[in-house]
């Protein structure tokens, strides 16, 4: 299994993954297009790794599903973070934002899948 999490293309990020679903079969590649949020966050790489590891343990033969859940959790958390900063009048583009991890517990445990994996060659 291989996952590349930060390919920048215009205003989007791509998560690109490759995995062998069945032994003896060629690996399958997929991508998830993620709209880039115009802010800088602290801790997203560690959180992405943790989410991918956790969801991969639940779906060991389905890296694309695990990635959809991880990306959807992360994006919900980042949007919550930006909105919290904006609510108190802070410009989210002015410095690094501490992610709202505790406040986003439900988004982490039960994400609504808004970002879908698509086959990629």
Q: pLDDT of 33-86, one tens digit each?
A: 999 998 999 889 999 999 999 999 999 989 999 999 999 999 999 999 999 999
Question: Which CATH number covers residue 35?
Answer: 3.40.1190.20
Residue 21 pLDDT exceeds 80: no
Q: Which residue is it, tokens 């297009």? A: 33
Catalytic positions, written as ranges: 46
Q: Which domain holds residue 8?
A: 2-119
Q: How far apart are CA 57 and CA 70, in angstroms?
A: 12
**Domain count of the fold of the chain:** 1
- Reported as a pLDDT band with limits 50, 70 and 90, residue 93 is confident
Question: How does 19-39 read in b/e, with b if 16+ C-beta sit within 10 Å?
Answer: beeeeeeeebebbbebeebeb
pTM: 0.91
Distance CA 54, CA 70 (A): 9
- For the segment 81-104, the average pLDDT, to the nearest whole number, is 91
SS3 of residue 22 by DSSP: coil
């Amino acid at each position: 299994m291989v996952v590349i999490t930060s390919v920048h293309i215009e205003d989007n990020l791509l998560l690109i993954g490759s995995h062998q679903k069945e032994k003896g079969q060629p690996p399958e590649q997929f991508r998830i297009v993620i709209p880039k949020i115009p802010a800088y966050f602290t801790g997203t790489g560690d959180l992405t790794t943790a989410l991918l590891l956790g969801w991969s343990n639940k779906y060991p033969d389905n890296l694309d599903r695990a990635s959809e859940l991880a990306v959807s959790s992360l994006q919900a958390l980042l949007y919550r973070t930006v909105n919290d900063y904006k609510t108190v009048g802070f410009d989210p583009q002015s410095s690094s934002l501490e992610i709202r991890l505790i406040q986003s517990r439900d988004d982490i445990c039960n994400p609504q899948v808004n970002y879908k994996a698509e086959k990629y060659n």
